[in-house]
Chain A
């Protein structure tokens, strides 16, 4: 793993993976949407409304996976000072924030017809809202320092502190009475979702994961190019001032 800390090698690997990840993401998305919106059965309680699950649940999973990746990258950037680690965290933050936003919005749209409310302050919903604010806080904190390395350090610490929210989100539905139902898929006794619904859900989740890596690679390359441009411009200014 440590050998990919070398930026040249890392970006070379990204270039190899990039076209495949786009192909996988798009094909899984087409397949997943067809399965979840057309092929899969209605639910015995919720009818067609259950189809919101196929966009909501993967978005909620991704909101937590992105944060985990972000926190781990921040940790390794603080401890081992890997060159790419913080860049991964910084590039992941807006993607994770978007997935969290998507999970909150689709959850709200699902809550109104099924629960009878757009929003309640129960432990699950509130902890996910906090997750969204953590992402926003991370992005804002990084940009509020003139010195980029200090901003990176402060934001990394925030990301690590906020990681405590992840187990709270996951287990909120078990620890406290909530309006949100307990976990259906990731639990000890096995999934409580019928296979005909579980398969499209996993295909959609796979599409979301590939989509994340697709966008991540674009953002990482853009960030690396921006650093190069800044360094080049700084050199230009130095040369000009020397000529004056």
Chain B
């Protein structure tokens, strides 16, 4: 074999082995790489009452409740299969809306998720307001694309 072909095959072989090992590592550490669990994951995992974790999903329609005079807000996070009730006392991000993506950090105890931080997660669709309006009118609105799968 010519030296340059030897170098080529050496590099290709090393890169393949390296890619395979990185893939294995990432699969093994999947639990640490995910940023949040879905409500279904949470119900399956049953975390301890002191364990800090994040859940993500959509804010369930008509679930946002605010008492007058206090900053506490409660709502439900849903993945369209299961939903988890969340309470939070603090500042909500601008994009916090019903049927929009949300990530809550906090602790889960006695069927209630006590959030210490709320982040908004938006989807990958971008369009002018008029287009969104007309899509909704014509019934072609796709809504929460990611979670319907």
Contact = CB atoms under 8 A, between A and B. Distances in A.
B124 A183 contact: yes
A140 B119 CA distance: 37
B4 interface: yes
Contacts of A44: 127-129, 131-133
A99 B142 CA distance: 34
B124 A177 contact: no
B60 to A, nearest CB: 18
A115 B96 CA distance: 9
A113 B94 CA distance: 7
B10 to A, nearest CB: 9
Given A79-B11, A115-B121, A164-B19, A194 B126 contact: yes
B59 interface: no
B30 A176 contact: yes
Contacts, number: 118
A53 B126 contact: yes
Interface string B24-67: 00100010011111100000000000000000100000000000
Interface string B75-117: 0000000000000000111111000110100000000000001
Interface residues of A, number: 41
Main secondary structure of the interface of B (DSSP, over half): mixed
A43 B128 contact: yes
Contacts of A79: 4, 7-8, 11
Interface residues of B, number: 45
A161 B18 contact: yes
Interface of A: 41-46, 50, 53, 75, 78-81, 113-117, 120-123, 160-161, 163-164, 168, 175-179, 181-184, 192-194, 196-197
15 contacts: A45-B122, A81-B4, A116-B91, A116-B92, A116-B119, A123-B34, A160-B11, A176-B30, A179-B36, A179-B103, A181-B122, A184-B124, A193-B126, A194-B126, A197-B127
